[in-house]
Structure 1
Amino acid sequence: MFDLIIRRARLADGSLTTIAIHDGKIAALGEPQWQATQEIDLAGRYWLSAGWIDSHVHCYPKSPIYHDEADRIGVETGVTTVVDAGSTGADDVDDFYQLTRTANTQVHALLNIARTGIVTQNELADMQQIDKASVRAAVQRLPGFIIGIKARMSSSVVGANGIQPLIGAKEIQQENGNLPLMVHIGNNPPDLDEIAELLGQGDIITHCYNGKPNRILTPAGELRASVAKAIKRGVRLDVGHGSASFSFEVARVAIAQGILPHTISSDIYCRNRLNGPVYTLAHVMSKFFSVGMTLPQIIACVTRHAAEGLRLHNKGKLAVGFDADLTLFDLSEAACVFTDSEGKSEAGEKQLVPLAAMVKGKWFITDEGKKHHVFDL
């Protein structure tokens, strides 16, 4: 006897399936006549995927610059797992960890290589901020919470230090079990070519479609040779939309050449959630219909690809034994308008509408889900 059976759920590829949940795990998949304590029949009307993972957010509530509440950007918007990208360093990560224990959303952290995290905009302008011993101790204290490290490599952050903080980040990475490393790119120096040359398999370039001069495309609209080589080495591209780091034009030109993101993430925090242009992960995902991606490609970027890139081994797939993290959503096919970080607007015709998030077998209904009266729980 299972805890829950969800019948006739529509997957991203359009097929229907039945999913059995037991003890917070996916227990079985298929169409036999199972029995459960509770059953829901979606009748093919709504879409279901593995739980959405937002691999770049800012949700340390005490951060003076970029902050939010995990559930506001998580289960309340259909997202089951969020990964804070460097809000905290070794000094504050324990406090952040404790605050997240009461969240319904699953929260992980990419530890800022600067021990103070982002308390100012230039945390890597002082190389003394990079304390390898403090990073090592933090990773050892919180191995399930800290799942990688973050280095913000733009001129406003590194000051006169150029590429040196990234060299330090790579040393920290190698000294701590080759943790995933996410690297923020923005205005130079350092130049993107310098950054790309240092990155290897599994490293993540975030803000990959930013419209700044130091971007992945040449002035002629071709992929920079250094980035092409990095991708061949296994470097991953993350969207990290944010307030200033996503251009429709760059995304469209890149995607037309087959340069797709490995992960779609929001870089959300309270201000760009309330005032845009981010709003929610679903809103960011929806923009990618307008630049040439399909629903299966978009969903893969926030499920399987995100889990693989951040080594969340029990997440990201609808597979037996994986965590029962699910996102239930609708696909609204109505005219809408999207705006990028450059202030440019695009007309869209599709929008993802999250209705509910399940975290380890427990449902959380979004406001839209309540309006739809999807099911009575």
Structure 2
Amino acid sequence: MRHATYQPNASILETTKEMTNILLKGGRVIDPACQRDGIMDVLVSGTRIAAIGPDLSASMPAGTEVTDCGGRLVLPGLIDTHAHVYQGVTGRFGLNADMCGVHSGVTTLVDQGGPSSITLPGFRDYVAAAAKSRVVAFMSCYLVGGLEGHYYPELYRPECLDVDAAVKAARSNRDLVKGLKAHAEIGGFARWGVDVMRQAARMGREAELPVYIHFGQLWPKPKEGGLAVDPDSIFNQVVEMLKPGDVLAHPFSRHPGGFVELDGRLHPLVKEAIARGLKIDVGHGSHFSYRTARIVLDYGVIPDTLGADMHGYNTTVPAPPGTPDSHPDEEDHMFKGRIRFSLVSAMTSMLALGLTIEQVVPMVTVNAARMIGMEETLGSLRVGGEADVSVLDDQRGRWTLRDNEGTEVTTDRLLTPAFCLRAGERFDPTASILPTAQAA
């Protein structure tokens, strides 16, 4: 572990002496962006980080609130790269931002495909501005956005995209729009072929933003007929259109048409895609499979980022009236969409699969910040920087984890949110959707 002393920043303390000072005492600080890993204190003054070092008790201002973080992980504020929080507009699909965010130990959320070029102003005013969590978006390539998780396929045909409108909206809202989300509709390739994907790739090039691609559930043939689709052909068709920095999602999906071919082997173009500069986001979701994950990891493919992909059809949130009675994310597996999870529990899943904490933390901090082009302000703990901090309990024991295929794995390490600071304000993990660990 690396130990370095970062003395209190006098200017920060002077300008914030009337504000609340908090000392996070004696936790394991892991900050890959700053190559920092050791038992340290973190001093927060107002909304900023004032100092980081092995023992700051002697130099903390009078009246500082001391929080014992012994045995806990003190991390840069966690970034969930795959959220669905356009609550109220996307139907039952969109969840409350702070429930998924600060009240789940996460300080920043990246909504994937909720707002569109038409509905982005509403997303800004009623979600991003209203939330205590920081909220940004990968704007939908479709004019209607992510209604009901793309339940109604006719709204997502090629004629329902407007490249010029999307590029204009993205360029005019750089603070909010950090990328574009493409292809999430069920059976999309069987209905429309690659036309939608081609338009989405053009949007990304013209807007100079990454495009986030959903894999899995694109290939089933519609009941009313459609194109004959070989699921194993989808990956190479999509990758050929993409540019460095674009994001391939759901590498651990249990559905064909993605990273793992029908014969159970890694798609031959996955490593070539990585070499071209494409990125991989776990996008956990209800279609996460330990079996598929084992295959991908055994081939040496480690995802760059980790998103929870929670939404109204795979959590325990009651359905509002006026929405479909059911959704494929509920029907297509044995547990009816009720495996509870969060970003932090997804981190535990990665540990259970054999990844180290040193591999997992970058996925939800520095790598996630790079994905959204905010590495200068997010994803690290820097003296003078905004005090976004996630503190996790790190327990040892034996617990059973289960995916929606019924596959069970046993882990000896369990991460749970203890609390987080968002711009220096403390939030406890009170979200009703947080999972309860099952002892092995």
Say yes or no: TM over 0.5.
yes
**Which 10-residue stretch deviates more, 101-110 or 219-228?**
219-228
Q: Which residues in structure 2 correspond to 1:87-102 (within 5 Å)? A: 87-100=114-127, 101-102=129-130
The answer to whether the 8 A contact 1:278-1:284 is kept is no
Name the residue aligned to 1:371.
none
Name the residue aligned to 2:101.
74
Name the residue aligned to 1:107.
135
For the pair 1:306 / 2:368, whether they are aligned, the reply is yes
Q: Identity across aligned pairs (percent)?
A: 26
For the pair 1:53 / 2:79, whether they are aligned, the reply is yes
Change (3 A) 1:113 1:223: same
What is the identity, as a one-letter code, of the residue corresponding to 1:15? Answer: G
The answer to whether the 8 A contact 2:24-2:69 is kept is no
What is the identity, as a one-letter code, of the residue corresponding to 1:60? Answer: Y
- What SS class does the counterpart of residue 256 from structure 2 fall into? coil
Q: Which residues in structure 2 correspond to 1:1-377 (within 5 Å)? A: 1=13, 3-12=21-30, 15-31=38-54, 33-36=58-61, 37-42=63-68, 44-62=70-88, 63-100=90-127, 101-119=129-147, 120-121=150-151, 122=153, 125-152=156-183, 156-157=187-188, 159-176=190-207, 178-187=208-217, 188=219, 189=229, 191-219=234-262, 221-244=264-287, 246-274=288-316, 276-313=338-375, 314-367=377-430
Whose Rg is larger? 2
After superposition, what is the alpha-carbon deviation per residue over 1:22-58, rounded to whole angstroms, capped at 9, x for unaligned? Answer: 3523233224542235242526332210011110011
After superposition, what is the alpha-carbon deviation per residue over 1:177-203, rounded to whole angstroms, capped at 9, x for unaligned? Answer: x11211101132471111122222111
Tell me the distance in 2 between the aligned counterparts of 1:105 and 1:327.
12
After superposition, what is the alpha-carbon deviation per residue over 1:208-254, rounded to whole angstroms, capped at 9, x for unaligned? Answer: 1112221312455443221111101111111111122x110111222
TM-score w.r.t. the length of structure 1 is 0.90
1:153 positional shift: 5.4
The answer to whether the 8 A contact 1:88-1:111 is kept is yes
1:332 positional shift: 2.1
The answer to whether the 8 A contact 2:245-2:277 is kept is yes
- What SS class does the counterpart of residue 52 from structure 2 fall into? strand
What is the identity, as a one-letter code, of the residue corresponding to 1:302? Answer: V
The answer to whether the 8 A contact 1:52-1:302 is kept is yes
Tell me the distance in 2 between the aligned counterparts of 1:55 and 1:49.
16
What is the identity, as a one-letter code, of the residue corresponding to 2:26? Answer: R
The answer to whether the 8 A contact 1:332-1:351 is kept is yes
The answer to whether the 8 A contact 2:144-2:155 is kept is no
The answer to whether the 8 A contact 1:87-1:111 is kept is yes
The answer to whether the 8 A contact 1:242-1:341 is kept is no
Tell me the distance in 2 between the aligned counterparts of 1:272 and 1:155.
16
**Which 10-residue stretch deviates more, 28-37 or 258-267?**
28-37
- What SS class does the counterpart of residue 272 from structure 1 fall into? coil
The answer to whether the 8 A contact 1:256-1:292 is kept is no
After superposition, what is the alpha-carbon deviation per residue over 1:105-125, rounded to whole angstroms, capped at 9, x for unaligned? Answer: 111111010010122432664
Tell me the distance in 2 between the aligned counterparts of 1:44 and 1:359.
21
Tell me the distance in 1 between the aligned counterparts of 2:110 and 2:22.
28
The answer to whether the 8 A contact 2:394-2:415 is kept is yes
What is the identity, as a one-letter code, of the residue corresponding to 1:282? Answer: V
Tell me the distance in 2 between the aligned counterparts of 1:94 and 1:45.
43
**Which 10-residue stretch deviates more, 257-266 or 156-165?**
156-165
Tell me the distance in 2 between the aligned counterparts of 1:14 and 1:111.
35
What is the identity, as a one-letter code, of the residue corresponding to 2:306? Answer: I
The answer to whether the 8 A contact 1:75-1:104 is kept is yes
Name the residue aligned to 1:375.
none
- What SS class does the counterpart of residue 214 from structure 2 fall into? strand
Tell me the distance in 2 between the aligned counterparts of 1:231 and 1:276.
33
1:7 positional shift: 2.8
**Moved runs in structure 1, 4+ residues, more than 4 A?**
none
**Which 10-residue stretch deviates more, 195-204 or 109-118?**
195-204
Change (3 A) 1:217 1:159: closer
Unaligned runs of 5+ in 1: 369-377
The answer to whether the 8 A contact 1:173-1:179 is kept is yes
The answer to whether the 8 A contact 1:273-1:280 is kept is no
- What SS class does the counterpart of residue 49 from structure 2 fall into? strand
Unaligned runs of 5+ in 2: 1-12, 31-35, 220-228, 317-336, 432-440
What is the identity, as a one-letter code, of the residue corresponding to 1:348? Answer: T
1:278 positional shift: 4.3
1:6 positional shift: 2.4
The answer to whether the 8 A contact 1:113-1:151 is kept is yes
Change (3 A) 1:349 1:20: same
- What SS class does the counterpart of residue 397 from structure 2 fall into? coil
The answer to whether the 8 A contact 2:47-2:424 is kept is yes
Tell me the distance in 1 between the aligned counterparts of 2:130 and 2:274.
38
Residue correspondences, number: 366
